[in-house]
Chains A and B, each alone.
Chain A
Amino acid sequence: MATTSFTAPKLSSPSLQTLCKNLSLFVSIPKTLSSFSRRHHHRRLQLQQQQQRRLFVVRAESENGSEPLRHYDFDLFTIGAGSGGVRASRFAANFGASVAVCELPFSTISSETTGGVGGTCVLRGCVPKKLMVYASKYSHEFDESNGFGWKYDTEPKHDWGTLMANKNAELQRLTGIYKNILNNAGVTLIEGRGKIVDPHTIDVDGKLYTARHILISVGGRPYIPDIPGSEYAIDSDAALDLPSKPEKVAIVGGGYIALEFAGIFNGLQSKVHVFIRQKKVLRGFDEEIREFVGEQMALRGIKFHTEESPQSIVKSADGSLSLKTNKGTVEGFSHIMFATGRRPNTKNLGLESVGVKMNKNGAIEVDEYSRTTVPSIWAVGDVTDRINLTPVALMEGGALAKTLFQNEPTKPDYRAVPSAVFSQPPIGQVGLTEEQAIKEYGDIDVYTANFRPLKATLSGLPDRVFMKLIVCVKTDKVLGLHMCGEDSAEITQGFAVAIKAGLTKADFDATVGIHPTSAEEFVTMRTPTRKIRQNPESEGKMGYEAKAAAGV
Chain B
Amino acid sequence: MARKMLVDEEMTQTNQEEAHYDFDLFVIGAGSGGVRAARFSANFGAKVGICELPFHPISSEVIGGVGGTCVIRGCVPKKILVYGAAFGGELEDARNYGWELNEKLDFNWKKLLHKKTDEIIRLNGIYKRLLSNAGVKLFEGEGKIVGPNEVEVTQLDGTKLSYSAKHILIATGSRAHRPAIPGQELGITSDEALSLEDLPKRAVIFGGGYIAVEFASIWRGLGAEVDLFFRRELPLRGFDDEMRAVVARNLEARGINLHPQTNLTELIKTDNGIKVITDHGEELIADIVLFATGRLPNSKRLNLEAVGVELDNTGAVKVDEYSRTNVPSIWAVGDVTNRMNLTPVALMEGTCFAKTVFGGESCKPDYSNIPCAVFSIPPLSLVGLSEEQAIEQANSDVLVFTSTFNPMRNTISGRQEKTVMKLVVDAGTDKVLGASMCGPDAPEIMQGIAVALKCGATKAQFDSTIGIHPSAAEEFVTMRSVSRRITVSGKPKQNL
Contacts and interface: CB of A to CB of B under 8 A. Distances in A.
Contacts of A512: 342, 344-345, 348, 370-371, 450
A519 B447 contact: yes
B98 A517 contact: no
B102 A153 contact: yes
Interface in B108-126: 108-112, 115-116, 119, 122
B100 A157 contact: yes
Given A134-B412, A512-B345, A513-B344, A501 B448 contact: no
Contacts of B441: 487, 490
A494 B445 contact: yes
A370 interface: no
A136 B76 CA distance: 28
B412 A159 contact: no
B159 interface: no
Nearest to B440: A490
Interface string B452-487: 101101000110111111111110110000000000
Nearest to B104: A153
Given A418-B466, A517-B443, A494 B448 contact: yes
Contacts of A150: 84, 87, 91, 105-108
Nearest to B409: A134
Nearest to A398: B480
Contacts of A501: 452, 455, 457, 461
A503 B370 CA distance: 17
Contacts, number: 272
Interface string A489-533: 111111111101101000110111111111110110000000000
Interface centre among A144, A163, A413, A519 (most CB of B within 10 A): A519
A158 interface: yes
B124 to A, nearest CB: 14
A455 interface: yes
A551 interface: yes
A141 B94 CA distance: 10
Interface residues of B, number: 79
B446 interface: yes
B385 interface: no
A389 interface: yes
B83 A163 contact: no
Interface residues of A, number: 80
B contacts with A: majority SS:
helix
Nearest to B455: A507
A514 B344 contact: yes
A173 B344 CA distance: 44
Given A134-B408, A166-B412, A494-B476, A511 B451 contact: yes
A455 B408 contact: no
A180 interface: no
B106 A151 contact: yes
B448 A159 contact: no
Contact of A149 (B107, B451, B466): B107
B79 to A, nearest CB: 5
A507 B454 CA distance: 8
B84 A138 contact: no
A524 to B, nearest CB: 8
A138 B87 contact: no
Contacts of A455: 83
Interface of A: 121, 126-127, 130-131, 134-135, 138, 141-142, 144-145, 147-154, 156-163, 166-167, 170, 173, 389-392, 394-395, 413, 416-420, 428, 454-455, 457-458, 487, 489-498, 500-501, 503, 507-508, 510-520, 522-523, 551-552
Given A489-B471, A516-B75, 9 more contacts: A141-B87, A141-B90, A148-B115, A391-B474, A413-B464, A494-B450, A503-B455, A512-B348, A514-B372
30 contacts: A127-B408, A131-B408, A135-B97, A138-B90, A138-B94, A138-B97, A150-B87, A156-B101, A158-B98, A163-B97, A391-B469, A395-B466, A416-B465, A454-B76, A457-B119, A458-B83, A458-B116, A492-B448, A493-B474, A493-B476, A494-B445, A494-B452, A497-B476, A511-B371, A511-B451, A512-B342, A516-B343, A518-B444, A519-B446, A522-B448
